[in-house]
Amino acid sequence: MLKSINRSTVKKLLPLRRHDSHKGQNGRLLIVGGSIDYYGPPILAGLGALYSGSDLVYLYVPECNFDAARSMYPDFVVKKYEGNYLSERAASQIVEFGKKCDAVVIGPGLGDDEKVVDGVIEILNNLHIPTVLDADAIRSLKKIEKFPLEQPVVITPHQNEFRNMVDREVVVNEKDSKSVILLRSISMDLNINVLLKGRIDYVSSVEGNVETNNTGNPGMTVGGSGDVLAGLVGSFLAQGVGAYDAARCAAFYMGKAGDFMFKNKGISYSASDIAFALPYVLK
């Protein structure tokens, strides 16, 4: 039986904010996402970060997303690069900007264009700050030539993305010990922390620890909830929480925010509703 993440555990993991701190000392998070196909995901990831305590949230998006991203919320600092998709050329300027940040989320809405994976790898190889890989950015792991990476990494796949990553028809379930061993092995062999999303979340560490999270409800299948979660993990990383602990805290509090919305709205809530609920469950 795997250990389940609980409130008493995660409360101890989040940092206390100093009363004399000033802007930027409590997390500068960079979010790299968006494409001609999707403009919303980096915004939703940004909301997850903003409403979980990050001081500064930067969105780096393709020029086709720029106006939408910067007009949505004045709280974000929005930067742009040429083209409709992430590329190696765009990645080079993102790396330079990202050096002033504490953590980076790569993936929300990037799309499956051929250039995207090369752009993600360029960032991974040259921006060595704590990193979250979400959605299409996870595909880059299959093209990385050498592990471990220099930076702490959390990936946030759902079951289908995990199957594609390991090239096996597998559903991770604690009743199936072989599937849990596979999850643990991926984390240890690649030196990455995995937050596997589902009705029950599975979180595995580079040391081989695996825990489950049982917060949440069926309303959280709504589109965009995974983007909010990626931003939440990145926010905790930017605030100085370790990679495995950031994943555990994010899984727990994301589910709690969903439960907060379920209590008030039933299953009829949105991903942005979950983000807006985060301050109340984190309080």
What is the rounded distance in angstroms from the CA atom of residue 185 to the CA atom of residue 191? 9
**Residue 50 CA: distances (Å) to CA of 44, 93, 137, 184, 233:** 10, 24, 22, 31, 12
| For residue 245, pLDDT beyond 90 | yes
Answer whether 105's CB lies under 8 Å from 46's CB. Answer: no
pLDDT at position 15? 86
What fold, for 26-282?
UDP-N-acetylmuramoyl-L-alanine:D-glutamate ligase (3.40.1190)
pLDDT at position 17? 85
pLDDT at position 62? 98
pLDDT tens string 46-62? 999 999 999 999 999 99
What is the rounded distance in angstroms from the CA atom of residue 221 to the CA atom of residue 271? 9
**Residue 137 CA: distances (Å) to CA of 65, 93, 111, 185, 270:** 18, 18, 9, 21, 24
Provide mean pLDDT across the span 36-40: 97
pTM above 0.75, yes or no: yes
| For residue 24, pLDDT beyond 90 | no
pLDDT at position 39? 97
Answer whether 134's CB lies under 8 Å from 227's CB. Answer: yes
**Amino acid, single-letter form, for residue 233:** V
pLDDT tens string 108-133? 999 999 899 999 999 999 999 999 99
Q: Domain boundaries in the chain?
A: 26-282
| For residue 25, pLDDT beyond 90 | no
